[in-house]
Structure 1
Amino acid sequence: MIANGQIVGDGSWNLRVLVTDLQAERQLRVKSDLHIGGVMLRLVEDLEISMDWSDHALWWPSKNIWLTRTRSTLDQYGVQADALLHFTPMHKNLRVQLPDLRYLDMKVDFSVKTFSAVIHLCKDLGIRHPEELSLCKPLEPCHLKYNYNSMPKKKVENGVAKNGHPNLPPDTNTFIANSSPDGSTGSLDKSGFMCAPVTPSRPPPSSTPVSSPVGNTGSWGRQVYNSETNGYSPNLTTSISSEQLNGSYDSFLAQTPPPPSPEARKHMIRPKSLVEKARMNVAWLDSSLSIMEQGVREYDTLCLRFKFYVFYDLNPKYDAIRINQIYEQARWQLLNEEIDCTEEEMLMFAALQLQVNLQAKQPQPHLDNGNVSSPVEDDIDAALTDLQTTLEGSTINSYANDITQVPELCDELRFLKPKRFTLKAYKRYWFTCRDLHLYLYKSKEEMIHRQNSIYDINLRGCEVTPDVNISQNKYVIKLEVPSAEGMSEMYIRCDEESQYAKWMACCRLASKGRSLADSSYETEKQTILEFLQMQRPADEPAINPSSLDLQAEDYIAPRFLKKFRGKNQRILEAHANVKDLPLIEAKMNYIKAWQSLPDYGLTLFVIKFMGSKKEELLGVAPTRIMKMDITTGDHLKTWRYNTMIAWNVNWEVKHMMIQFEDCNIMFSCSSADCKVVHEFIGGYIFLSTRSKDASQTLNEELFHKLTGGWS
């Protein structure tokens, strides 16, 4: 029998396809062995509309997948007669919030893996090393109230959508269970990986962002930058597009925007506890899935943020945009209390921020492209410096006059090893550090002859935390040393800042397995001294307080506001230390000071170890993971990546097992999907393999191998 030119009974059937550009549905008579490319070709021929369809692909809404393998057949994808496919553009409009809180309307590929989408997005924005960034969904206050695994239940109880269905907007990682294997293994592939080219090569944006239509802000939009008022307004429909910028991002994204309005600040998320800080990490998208597969639709809002706190080759000469965006992310972390600091440190950050604001209004001749040396010259200079360091060796050894002796640091310091239920004071000992070990002696003679050491502390793998209060002349180094029982606390108190800088630099390097002979020792020591100097207030401000209208809430975190409100004199006194810094140097100093904070680079998760009913914190850092007390944040146990062998993930029950050289750990994550933890660990291992070789490009395959849970 023949019907409509087709032979009925030949195994063919009608496939429904919605063409989203036309909002028109078409039916194609197909067979199961027809490949996806053939479906699209027949559909375009059937439409008989002369336009470029090359950016279109088939999306299967009910299965939440793109049919991008054009050589695969309908049968291989499992498409049957009851399916409705969408023929839709792969590049869609996305509102992107940058770390500086401004919004850009961009064309983003919704069909590729999120990692690839971020790479193309950063290329358009002129941000190098996109592997350090990722996209996340904007958070609301309710996200901090519940753990990830209990939030959907709370939403069902608290509200129902107008259509009668539970009000359950897609959360991050909702679809992972549908697309991940039942079990997978990650392993530490030590194959060499070269980072993206060091030389800057940024052509004009290859995709032109367009403005979102009025009235469609997306389900996640909260506040946008208003170019007419130079401020932020909540719940508006305007944002910056490349048409308004005339395609030039350099001058726009490299400059700090005006402070957001009071209304907009009310929408910012401010965690009040360690658990709430951990819950903020629920928002990260899965780098191995496309944006579309994670519940994001056209005109929705996503946040572009630096996810991994390892900033490779941060060069002021051609990283102005990247430096400004890192500075802005650091600034808002401090002002929103996502990372803690002391009162003196807060004043220092406020002073640097004030200097940035003042310098932004001044011409910066050293940023003129005509005066910047070429990347080739920079690479040659760097190579010559490395060669000089190699040939000259280290000059830090003040105790040995020839290279056959091991560098050593000796001093008289105070020491305290606290014990439960007893009050003990600091005792003076003679300290010496050599071969990554710290030795304590009762007398100088015993130290010289290396006899009868009281303590022998292996610094490799220990946690080193500063405890400094300059106004009280307190310079303390807190050591948390791995032991069979967990982490043992010890405190070293120095008499003055130069002594503190020497020993702090020594302990930091030793904890990473680097000795005093390492060429970075002097740099580390100098950085610590500069950090302390910036915290020391000047006798009088360099600027007349009446000449500036300072709003304390723009510079000071809320917990310090009561103390500093109306006392701008103290900010200006701190500013006198940094008044001569040019714009880029002020931002770089801000970033370096942020990196010196004890909690810098620590991403938290609420977890439960197998066999335990108690919730604990897992801290993921660039070189290690830590078991932490959920109330105090004390470090209970540390495992370093260089002792990690492999990790296994069971996606069905969301359990993660990590195998180390000396033990195995297994846990479930309560505050986020297990994939988020998996990706942070694999991502940091991936970043540790970067090498400064301009001839190589970003190894996306290795990234997904380490973060995506491949078998």
Structure 2
Amino acid sequence: MAAWDLSVTVEELGPEAPPFKVSVTSDLHIGGVILKIVEKTQIKKDWSDHALWWEQKQQWLLRPSWTLEKYEIHADARLSLTPQHKTLRLGLPNGTTLRLQACFSRPVFQTVMGICRLLNLRHPEELSLLRPVEVKKKKKDKEAEEEVVYDLTGLQISSGSAHTLSNGMPVHFADSPQTEAVYKMLSVSLPAPAPETITKMPRPTSIVDKAQVHSRWLDSSRSLLQQGVQEHDRLLLRFKYYCFHDLDPKYDAVRLTQLYEQARWAILLEDVDCTEEEMMLFAALQYHIGKVSLSEPQPMTSCPAMDDLDSALQCLEETMTAAPELHDYLKIFRPKRLTLKGYKQFWFAFNNTSISYYKSKEESLKEPIQQMNLKGCEVAPDVSVAGQKFCIRLLIPGAEGMNEVYLRCENELQYSRWMAACRLASKGKTLADSSFSSEVQNIQSFLAMQRTTPGANTAQTDDSINTHSLVSPRYHKKYKAKQLTPRILEAYQNVAQLPLTDALLRFLQIWQALPDFGVSYFVVRFKGCRKDDVLGVTNNRLIRIDLSIGDVVKTWRYNTMRQWNVNWDIQQMAIEFNGNVNIAFSCVTATCKIVHEYIGGYIFMATRTKEQAEVLNQELFFKLTGGHEAI
């Protein structure tokens, strides 16, 4: 049995204090080492949150029963007795910065769970932490701008449920007027930012810039201290996975508001592309949400009895409703074919997840001219309500890449039905799916909000509206404020009657309908290729994008994935799909661990059900995202 003097520093004594020398033997357990150190300090306090940190190996020693020999600790080890919970500055999606206690010893996934429990954010698995962009400030800016930080370090959660509410807020926030004010700041949308603030914020100018953002995510399997995060550092809390489970306004005031804020900034900073009509609608909804939030702050509630009734009616409707039929005359256009011809009209019929088209209705009993299977395809709107243009852009997977097809509809109703059918088919669902009618209604309501109403307050002006606070900088340059005001107010007429909760949900709904929504980009090098490509990771598929022109080259669905693994030695990721399809790539703008975690995380999100309630299968999450073995 070996014996030696172990060197241990105690954080409470300050950085200049010399380390303690503790006589130990190889069979002494970690709990015994801590006990000896505490006795030597002669400081009477609660040491229960303290643990030993091994600096050389960047490792926490969290098993008190393990011996020094089992941890392979020898005389040259430098240990530190330090608190597991430390102060962290946390930037939220709405721009607010909080100072709070976070766990530095557990995996980031569990640290985020603790933060979300404190802030009353359900489904913490959808969020994670990332490092902020390093912005070099000028001397004038440093003097003029000091970050406002709201202190929540004294906030304690009671032993009961974190969701027990008092006067519309969690009990632990109701302790003082200061914490109540912070909770209101978290659960109610903040006023629109100044145009100067939007202009100063870093904005992506290319798909490579968008890819750089995702290199800053922390590893969910390792602790903050293991990743170089120090006490008082600033991190950002963001929604990482774009699949929002069981979003209920009754319980999700903070979650809904912060999700709206993240969506709003994605629009304002042009992280997601949208049309001019959509931008005006987003601006109108922001204006309306701001007005309602200021004038009549109201709790976001829903009636449980009505929720149950709606569920029962929906189930009844599903059992009684037959699958709708969909066939009509549409126009088709293939831009990749070397032809000057435009759209040509055919008779189209939808069957399961495929579209067939014929020369005419009378020919529909014969063989089709072509049948296109839409399962796994990309579906994007190409719409201008003002210009009466209702087109559907399809990117259909083929043997030699993606085939681009445009379908043109005659009116809003026809477009709504065919667009809804295409979206469902791309996910492998048929017209018999219960969500078809609701998808049609969502598309129709979205189109209705873009519709102008001649003679209905079109000349209205409002001096209080700061239009450049509601649109992205691209429109600051394109239009003067007085040109934007009537257009925003015109769109506002279609949403002015919405309650606050409905307006927030409508904003999120339109955001989620954008073609580029929920795509996380990574620059990668596919095996056998000489140039870089972009890999887009979404909640249900992987997308290969040509870096030079931005076109989609290929799409792979998760439900066709058989296995994936990472060769950590050469940092290469390999994925096998059905049909003996194999791809392999190395990551350029991020580590393979981040991409691996994204894919495993989305597969984990797909396993969630309403019956699981608040219970999270952490073991399954770490198994899917840990990355040390093939799944």
Q: Output the CA distance in 1 between the equivalents of 2:51 and 2:212.
A: 36
CA spacing shift, 1:262–1:562, aligned 2, 3 Å: closer
Q: Output the CA distance in 2 between the equivalents of 1:431 and 1:368.
A: 44
CA contact (8 A) 1:540 1:576 kept: no
Cα offset for 1:66? 0.9
Q: Output the CA distance in 2 between the equivalents of 1:443 and 1:260.
A: 55
Q: Which residue of 2 aligns with 1:64?
A: 58
Cα offset for 1:491? 0.8
Q: For residues 380-439 of structure 1, give each alpha carbon's deviation from its aligned partner in whole angstroms, at most 9, with x where no partner exists.
A: 446524532343234xxxxxxxxxxx6420100000122354322110000000121101
Specify which of 603, 616, 620 is matched with residue 520 of structure 2.
603
Counterparts in 2 of 1:147-546, with a 5 A limit? Answer: 234-236=145-147, 238-241=149-152, 245-246=178-179, 250-260=183-193, 264-265=197-198, 267-364=200-297, 367=300, 377=305, 380-381=308-309, 383-394=311-322, 407-447=324-364, 450-539=365-454
CA contact (8 A) 2:53 2:60 kept: yes
Identify the structure with bigger relative contact order (alpha carbons < 8 Å, sequence gap 6+): 1
* Mean CA deviation greater in 424-433 or 45-54: 45-54
Q: For residues 200-247 of structure 1, give each alpha carbon's deviation from its aligned partner in whole angstroms, at most 9, with x where no partner exists.
A: xxxxxxxxxxxxxxxxxxxxxxxxxxxxxxxx9744364443669336
Aligned to 1:361, the other structure's residue is in SS state: helix
CA contact (8 A) 1:552 1:564 kept: no
CA spacing shift, 1:539–1:242, aligned 2, 3 Å: farther
Q: Which residue of 1 aligns with 2:594?
A: 676
Aligned to 2:589, the other structure's residue is in SS state: coil
Q: Which amino acid aligns with 1:31?
A: T
Q: Which residue of 2 aligns with 1:96?
A: 90
Q: Which amino acid aligns with 2:523?
A: V
Q: For residues 301-341 of structure 1, give each alpha carbon's deviation from its aligned partner in whole angstroms, at most 9, with x where no partner exists.
A: 00000000001111122211111111000000010111100
Consecutive unaligned residues in structure 1, runs of 5 or more: 1-9, 143-231, 370-374, 395-405
Cα offset for 1:628? 0.8
Specify which of 100, 107, 127 is matched with residue 106 of structure 1.
100
Q: Output the CA distance in 2 between the equivalents of 1:542 and 1:358.
A: 18
CA contact (8 A) 2:97 2:148 kept: no
CA contact (8 A) 1:476 1:493 kept: yes
Q: For residues 460-484 of structure 1, give each alpha carbon's deviation from its aligned partner in whole angstroms, at most 9, with x where no partner exists.
A: 1111111112222111111111111
CA contact (8 A) 1:610 1:666 kept: yes
Consecutive unaligned residues in structure 2, runs of 5 or more: 137-142, 156-177
Q: Output the CA distance in 1 between the equivalents of 2:149 and 2:297.
A: 31
CA contact (8 A) 2:198 2:269 kept: no
Q: Output the CA distance in 2 between the equivalents of 1:45 and 1:470.
A: 76
Q: Output the CA distance in 1 between the equivalents of 2:459 and 2:8.
A: 69
Q: Which residue of 1 aligns with 2:167?
A: none
Q: Output the CA distance in 2 between the equivalents of 1:140 and 1:620.
A: 25
Q: For residues 465-514 of structure 1, give each alpha carbon's deviation from its aligned partner in whole angstroms, at most 9, with x where no partner exists.
A: 11112222111111111111011111101111111111000110011111
* Mean CA deviation greater in 613-622 or 471-480: 471-480
Q: Output the CA distance in 2 between the equivalents of 1:294 and 1:546.
A: 52
CA contact (8 A) 1:233 1:261 kept: no
Q: Output the CA distance in 1 between the equivalents of 2:195 and 2:330.
A: 49
Q: Which residue of 2 aligns with 1:22?
A: 13
CA contact (8 A) 1:234 1:264 kept: no
Q: Which amino acid aligns with 2:5?
A: N
CA contact (8 A) 1:310 1:622 kept: yes
Q: Which residue of 1 aligns with 2:552?
A: 635
Q: Output the CA distance in 1 between the equivalents of 2:264 and 2:458.
A: 23
CA contact (8 A) 1:407 1:434 kept: no
State TM-score, norm by structure 1: 0.80
Specify which of 71, 75, 82 is matched with residue 77 of structure 1.
71
Q: Output the CA distance in 2 between the equivalents of 1:236 and 1:425.
A: 56
CA spacing shift, 1:438–1:564, aligned 2, 3 Å: same
State TM-score, norm by structure 2: 0.90
Cα offset for 1:71? 2.1
1:578 has 2:481 as partner? no
Specify which of 546, 559, 582 is matched with residue 474 of structure 2.
559
Identical aligned pairs, as a percentage?
46
Specify which of 520, 532, 538 is matched with residue 621 of structure 1.
538
CA spacing shift, 1:674–1:234, aligned 2, 3 Å: farther
1:704 has 2:619 as partner? no
Aligned to 1:600, the other structure's residue is in SS state: coil
Aligned to 1:77, the other structure's residue is in SS state: coil
Cα offset for 1:690? 0.5
CA contact (8 A) 2:192 2:470 kept: no
CA contact (8 A) 1:126 1:249 kept: no
Q: Output the CA distance in 1 between the equivalents of 2:547 and 2:388.
A: 31
Q: Which amino acid aligns with 1:125?
A: L
Q: Which residue of 2 aligns with 1:11?
A: 2
Cα offset for 1:291? 1.0
CA spacing shift, 1:571–1:695, aligned 2, 3 Å: closer
Cα offset for 1:89? 0.5
RMSD: 2.3
